[in-house]
Amino acid sequence: MSLTCKKCGLVNVDGKFFCEYCGARLHHSSIYDLRVDDFITDGDREAFNILKCIGPLIPFLYSTIIKSKLQRDTSKFIRNHSPTERLTTLSVDCAEILALEYLPKVYVTDLGQKNAITLGDDSEALIVLDNDLQKSLSDGELRALLGHEMGHIKSRHLAYHVTAEVLECGLAFASHLTNVGILSLPVKPILLAWHRESELSADRASLIVAGDITHVETMFLKMIGEAL
């Protein structure tokens, strides 16, 4: 039986969990739809509630300044870089386990360091993997990496996550934000404190997807350059 996507209206062949045209989820899991509350840490939840009390400052800065700049910069990275069949298959599987509302786009390119970044917002996200890193990972380790990045997407706080990444990783254009107050106290320490907690939640999502803590451990070891 074919399924019609409620988002784009196009017909998909039977068995698809995500629309092959727009990436939206077509149906609920036949077993259990994982919820954010199933893996989020108490520290993550509490710190994020404090962030929301600050008001719309961070989402505003993200939508007006950071998002457009990142889109221009990442377009240079992902141009002419397509995911492999292996990566596509694993991405769909991981997104289905986490019951994401849509399938994020995944790109492989040369980041210059063994890393992965998730960009975008809650309506559209993309994951960028370093080529050397993804080549060095086993399927189980790659599932762990994708699970971690998709955990951030599942939590639906990408505007905050990406803004924190910009500040913490010291991207070149972060200095532009000094003029709009994001680097001033108390916003920055509150944001970065929450960001550290959110990484623990993403690690839990990673373990759920990988199904084996060894895959998570060796994935992180390879990211920091440990020979295995």
Question: Which tens digits make up the pLDDT trace of 182-219?
Answer: 555 567 888 889 999 999 999 999 999 999 999 999 99
- Mean residue pLDDT of the chain comes to 86
Is 166 part of any domain?
yes
Which structural domain range is residue 8 located in? Answer: 1-30
pLDDT > 90 in the chain, percent: 53
Say if residue 20 is in the same domain as residue 129. no
| Res 172: pLDDT | 41
Strands 105-109 and 116-121, bridge-based pairing? unpaired
Is 228 part of any domain?
no
Say if residue 13 is in the same domain as residue 50. no
**C-alpha–C-alpha distance, residues 103 and 96, integer Å:** 8
Say if residue 15 is in the same domain as residue 110. no
Say if residue 117 is in the same domain as residue 41. yes
Question: Which tens digits make up the pLDDT trace of 67-110?
Answer: 887 777 777 666 666 678 899 999 999 999 999 999 999 988 88
Say if residue 147 is in the same domain as residue 75. yes
Is 119 part of any domain?
yes
Q: Indicate the SS3 state at residue 189.
A: helix
pLDDT surpasses 60 at 174: no
Number of folded domains in the chain? 2
